[in-house]
Structure 1
Amino acid sequence: MKYYQELTLIPDAEISLNFLWSKVYPQIHLALVETKTPENHSKMGVTFPKYQNTPERKTLGNKLRIFSPDTNNLQNLNLTKWLHTLDDYVHLTSIKEVPDNIKTHASFYRIQKRKTNAQKAYNTAQRLGIPYEKALAHLQGRDEKQPQAPFIHMKSLSSKHSYRLMIGKKITNLNDPQSKEFNTYGLSSKASLPLF
């Protein structure tokens, strides 16, 4: 990825960073949906340079960089149009070239919420045609711990359901050329992007 644009979210005393993410990221998602490939992928990916996921602090930070192999994709994305109602709270840079001396790369990916044992038992009972209680008894004692990571509150435009878009991060040592396809959130567990 050779080019990027950077967004900086600017919270204040009345508007929190989490609230801003819940307004900004759906717009980015919609912009990526508008520019997706016929295979429902995006050619552009995102990083969160100030991401933290420690027991003490879980945050995406206040910055997002969106990367593209060329300037045309970023121009067509037209983030200014999508974020115009949030001008007071979002600073958007012009399109810039990625510096040459980047040593660290990372993948930012979506973390799916795990099913509870009760949900797994129901599905198993349906699939195997056994009583729910028997399927549940088989799962007793299994860990139901949910993943913990920074997230953004989102709302589906089609179903109107609210959900958490949980985001994980994996550091890599090099720019992984095997995949440059991202989902329409700009996330990928296979593609890595410059981290600076």
Structure 2
Amino acid sequence: MDHYLDLKLLPDPEFPPTQLMSALLNKLHRALHDVRRNNIGISFPDTRHSIRHLGSHLRLHGSHEALDQLLAINWLTGMRDHVHIGQPCPVPAHVQHRHVCRVQVDSNPERLRRRLIKRHGLSEDEARRRLPDTAAKRCDLPFAVMRSHTSQQVFHLFIRHGPLLEQPQAGTFNAYGLSSSATVPWF
């Protein structure tokens, strides 16, 4: 994690920043999956937790080589008019670090009821009694709207920025650029 690359959304009268950030993250996910990279992390320097917004600034973290390889595959096709792409730069000295990870929330009672029926052989009425609509959990974390490439299901990718740490922690990143074990530089 000695380099970073900033991607900043440009203002667009037709698309809100939340929609553009979701599109950008979907493209990044496909690219990270295709190049099979587990050493590129992401962060959102201007995330606004109070309004559940990831902001308009995506920062990629990794080695200079990893970031160059990602840029070389031209994964930003269709987004170039909406994004200002920086150059890989060295991480500043004396920065703090933090985990940026996915938080999964079971917030859809209908889906949970179908799962109960399938796994436990319950009737629909019994499943509804066990899991009423009021059982839905609410998550106040910022999120992006993603589409699964395998099932084509749309889901919310909730993202948590962990507490600031003085020392980096090693680990790998998933195909979203997120990790519960590895940290990214925070500046």
Match of 1:83 among 51, 73, 76: 76
Partner AA of 1:171 in structure 2: P
Q: Does 1:64 align with 2:55?
A: no
Q: Which runs of 5+ in 2 are unaligned?
A: none
Structure 1 unaligned segments of length 5 or more: list them. none
Letter of the 2:60 counterpart: I
Contact 1:172/1:192 (8 A) holds in 2: no
Q: Tell me, in whole angstroms, the C-alpha distance in 1 between the residues paired with 2:136 and 2:126.
A: 18
Instruction: Tell which deviates more after alignment, 111-120 or 57-66.
Output: 111-120
> Which residue of structure 1 aligns with residue 98 of structure 2?
106
CA drift of 1:2 comes to 0.4
Matched, 1:169 2:165: no
CA pair 121-89 structure 1, distance change in 2 beyond 3 A: closer
* Counterpart check, 1:146 vs 2:138: yes
* Separation in 2, partners of 1:126, 1:118: 12
**Residues of 2 paired with 1:13 and 1:125: CA distance?**
45
Q: 1:49 Cα deviation (Å)?
A: 0.3
Deviation string, structure 1 residues 100-126 (Cα, Å, up to 9, x no partner) = 1213x2211112121556765665676
Residue 192 to residue 137, structure 1, CA distance change in 2 (3 Å)? same
Aligned-residue CA RMSD (Å) = 2.7
The alignment's TM-score, normalised by the length of structure 1, stands at: 0.80
Residue matched to 2:8: 8
- Does 1:35 pair with 2:35? yes
Which segment is superposed worse, 3-12 or 14-23? 14-23
Q: Identify the residue that residue 189 of structure 1 maps to in structure 2.
A: 180
Could you tell me how far 1:180 is from its partner in structure 2?
Answer: 2.2
Any conservation in 2 of the 1:175–1:194 contact (CA below 8 Å)?
no
Cα gap change, 1:25/1:121 in structure 2, threshold over 3 Å: closer, same or farther?
Answer: closer
Q: Once the 2 structures are TM-superposed, how far is the Cα of residue 11 of structure 1 from its aligned partner?
A: 2.2
Question: Among the aligned pairs, what percent are the same residue?
Answer: 28
* TM-superposed deviation, 1:85: 2.3
